[in-house]
Amino acid sequence: MSKPGDFEAVAADIKTLLHQPEYDDGSAGPVLLRLAWHSAGTYCAETDTGGSNGAGMRYEAEGGDPANAGLQHARVFLETVKAKHSWITYADLWTLAGVVAVKEMGGPEIPWKPGRTDYVDDSKLPPRGRLPDAAQGADHIRWIFYRMGFTDQEIVALSGAHNLGRGHMDRSGFHGPWVPNPTRFSNQYFRIMLEWEWKEKTLSNGVKQFVHYDEDLDEEIMMLPTDLALIHDEAFAPWVKKYAKDKDLFYKDFAAAFAKLLELGISRDADGRITNSDNVKGGYHA
Ligand code: DDH
């Protein structure tokens, strides 16, 4: 048990946990990042509902959303950390884990602030269907991300997270990694999206994705319909090209957009304390 408020100690234990030789490509990092994103990506600015505060995914209403299939692996990985640092809220732990995972996999430092609570306000629970559907196109992507208050540039930057991890047929129905080295954060996703040829493929479960066979690896690399929609849209495409050329710009913009994502629905005072009155019950405050 660490001293309450010692987030460095929590981060150190998350780092240790990332190495998982028996799991996927040997790292828990990608699924931890996806947990952080899905915990926050339910936010709706107009109604001020959803978002990372409350860690609603612990409950069936949100955790059982088919869009969250597979994220129980991430939550189970983090149970060992929670057991050791029981003072941390799940909402802080899940978001911090995403930030630590990105950094440890070679990505940028993402500003992160604590103070989220595990108190669930039923009136703030997001309905299902708030997370993106990979079979759709640019209009759908905008509909989802504009709801949270993101711009076209931020949407493309955030999409660069698909440089990590893979699709699993038993989770989303999609299959395979986006890049040959899916546990190393980089801008390769943008580069190969532009440079390689992508062929549509229907998987045995009827799901359609785009693939490129990589001869050196003897492996098929994939893109979701929503990924390739980024290069067929005139406002998204220039950002894909910029990020493909300029890794530093991508890192800077990804860090800013991801930090914004994790703060959606959270108001803070000058000292960084969360002030939304209905969100502060039962939370831990640094
Ligand atoms: Fe994603 N994502 N994502 N994604 N995502 C999947 C996996 C991962 C979409 C669909 C899928 C973001 C945006 C989108 C990560 C991070 C982020 C899978 C495969 C699908 C499907 C899941 C599975 O089968 O296990 C769609 C659609 C969008 C969209 O923008 C339109 C964003 C914004 C992020 C982020 O982190 C900022 C990560 C990481 C993974 C890999 C997970 C794993 O287990 O590996």
Classify burial at 147, counting beta carbons within 10 Å of its beta carbon; exposed 0-12, middle 13-18, buried 19 or more: middle
- Which residue's structure tokens are 């999206």? 193
Cα 133 from chain centre: 14
Using alpha carbons, list the distances in angstroms from residue 108 to 102, 104, 255, 257: 7, 9, 6, 12
pLDDT in tens, 190-209: 999 999 999 999 999 999 99
What are 219's strand-pairing partners?
214
Q: Lowest-confidence range among 154-168, 175-189, 190-204, 267-281?
A: 267-281
Q: pTM of the entire structure?
A: 0.96
Cα separation, 277 vs 121, in Å, equals 11
38 noted as active-site residue:
yes
Phi and psi of 18, rounded to 5°? Answer: -60, -35
CA distance linking residue 221 with residue 176, whole number of Å: 6
DSSP 35: H
Ligand 1: lining residues by beta carbon, under 6 Å = 30-31, 33-34, 37, 70, 132, 134, 141, 158-159, 161-162, 164-168, 171-172, 174, 224, 226, 258
Distance between CA atoms of 259 and 158, rounded to whole angstroms? 10
Complex ipTM value: 0.99
Give the tens place of pLDDT for each residue, 126-169: 999 999 999 999 999 999 999 999 999 999 999 999 999 999 99
Closest C-alpha residue for ligand 1 atom 22: 167
Q: What percent of the chain has pLDDT over 90?
A: 88
